[in-house]
Chain A
Amino acid sequence: MLHAADTQSPLLSMEAVDKWYGAFHALKNINLTVRKGEKIVLCGPSGSGKSTLIRCINALEKIEKGTIMVEGTKLDDSGKSIDAVRREVGMVFQSFNLFPHMTILENCTLAPMRVRGTGKAEAEKIARKYLERVRILDQADKFPAQLSGGQQQRVAIARALCMEPKAMLFDEPTSALDPEMVKEVLDTMIGLARDGMTMICVTHEMGFARQVADRVIFMASGEIIEEAPPETFFRNPSHPRTQAFLGEILAHH
């Protein structure tokens, strides 16, 4: 554990959450509390609902049952609660999703200026700070297509950080990358974890989970099957589905 999690205040909670895609039951009775500064790694087989779970947290998907609270705001259908939550929660996607028609700097200043109403000069100052932090400031005036995958993903992280979020969601941030670029992105995430960011990461990078996670959560068929600190999770998984999954993952790596 790199950073002791603040024990009192839950930054984020999901209570008895259910989600359906039409008739398909994608999330089943999800209960999850994340305290300030906590790092959660979410893993599980393909189709188990990992992406769906984190996408519900920032309302990219709607839930049918249960409660999601972020920083004291209860997510409901109102635009106001959705706005409030998205301001506090940053997200990094597998496919980077940088805006191709904007420079790296413009990618980073867009949301602070348009959502927070920050002035241009101030927004650029913030952007430069975070671009520096992900060690890519020298590329600030380039366009996304001129950067490597690893560089683009680091920009995507900086872009999210520019909104100064309280928590960050990562959906398989390294799985679209060439192997030689995985490390630079993971190192950036480790740095972020060290600085105390609250993080929920969907990833199969078990080295990262061991090094950074406070808790590893294993999902299968839309349910949370097992939840444990990484030492226990990897050494002593209790559920047979976890054991099978870990066997497979470790055989691959």
Chain B
Amino acid sequence: MNYVLDFSVVFEKMPDLLMAALATIGLALTGMSLALVIGVIGVAARTSSIRPLRTAVIAFVEVVRNTPFLVQIFFIFFALPMMGIRLNPTITAIIALGLNGGAYAIEIIRGGVDNIQKGQVEAGLALGLHKTQVFRLIVLKPALRAIYPSLTSQFIMLTLTTSVCTSIAAYELTSVAQIIESDTFRSFEVYFAITLMYLVISWMMMGLFALISRHFFSYPVR
């Protein structure tokens, strides 16, 4: 083997890589927030009494979960401009990540909501609360707590999936690494470096999820 490792490129480009890592974290966090909002609203819509709404949610989940993310992001990036909607790559990436993560979040959160005892809902209704108040104030938090591990591992997936956004040249860690690599031909060094960076980003996310859990879900249960 006559390839000589040389990490100096990586150190030289470290400021660029760190900025790109921040962009990745930003994409992941905004994508997750959007996914969470879509997840919660989607579950509420799925249990609504308006049938077309329920059908729309089911169709959305079905399509998103059974097509590749790469195709989804291309679809949003190239199809929307044909309808006159022009979006920059970062916004497109956030929308794609949010929609994709949202579809999975709907399925996961629905599982949690279904497992909330009927008595909780009835107690809320008997106190005079409306159905949407019961969902928001009584059902949601315990349901999220119950599925928190699945939801957060889905969100780690979402974090790593941000690298696919490279395909539409969104500014994030993998796309910056690709540029450095094509300029310097130091593929191994660059990808080794960003592998470590993704690992650190995932751990940071897990730490963040643990903090959130400690803050919101620390009430005792039997």
A145-B128 in contact (CB<8A): no
B141-A95 in contact (CB<8A): no
A101-B141, A114-B137 known; A91-B219 Cβ under 8 A: no
A97-B122 in contact (CB<8A): yes
| The stretch of A9-17, A82-90, A185-193 that contacts the partner chain | A82-90
**Given B125, B138, B145, B221, which contacts A86 in the complex, CB threshold below 8 Å?**
B125
Asked whether any CB of chain B lies closer than 8 Å to the CB of A160, the reply is yes
Number of chain B residues close to chain A: CB under 8 A: 22
B127-A93 in contact (CB<8A): no
Give the residues from 96 to 146 in chain B that come closer than 8 angstroms, CB to CB, to chain A: 117, 119-120, 122-130, 133, 137-138, 141-142, 145
Q: Give the interface residue-count category, chain A.
A: 20 to 34
Asked whether any CB of chain A lies closer than 8 Å to the CB of B215, the reply is no
A60-B125 in contact (CB<8A): yes
B144 nearest in chain A by CB position: A101
B126-A86 in contact (CB<8A): yes
A101-B145 in contact (CB<8A): yes
B126-A100 in contact (CB<8A): no
B128-A146 in contact (CB<8A): no
Asked whether any CB of chain B lies closer than 8 Å to the CB of A21, the reply is no
Give the residues in chain A near B117, CB-CB below 8 Å.
95, 97
- How far, in Å, is B172 (CB) from chain A's closest CB? 36
Asked whether any CB of chain A lies closer than 8 Å to the CB of B214, the reply is no
A97-B119, A101-B145, A110-B137 known; A91-B126 Cβ under 8 A: yes
Please report the C-alpha to C-alpha distance between residue A146 and residue B219 in the assembled complex, in whole angstroms: 10
Most buried by A among B127, B129, B145: B127
A116 nearest in chain B by CB position: B128
Give the residues in chain B near A58, CB-CB below 8 Å.
126
Give the residues from 160 to 178 in chain B that come closer than 8 angstroms, CB to CB, to chain A: none
A163-B127 in contact (CB<8A): yes
Asked whether any CB of chain A lies closer than 8 Å to the CB of B222, the reply is yes
Please report the C-alpha to C-alpha distance between residue A93 and residue B137 in the assembled complex, in whole angstroms: 19
Please report the C-alpha to C-alpha distance between residue A145 and residue B137 in the assembled complex, in whole angstroms: 18
Give the residues in chain A near B84, CB-CB below 8 Å.
none
List 28 interface pairs A-B (beta carbons < 8 Å), by A numbering.
A60-B125, A60-B126, A79-B130, A83-B130, A86-B128, A97-B117, A97-B119, A97-B120, A97-B123, A99-B124, A99-B138, A99-B142, A100-B142, A100-B219, A100-B221, A101-B142, A101-B145, A101-B219, A102-B219, A110-B127, A114-B129, A114-B133, A114-B137, A115-B127, A143-B219, A143-B220, A145-B219, A163-B127
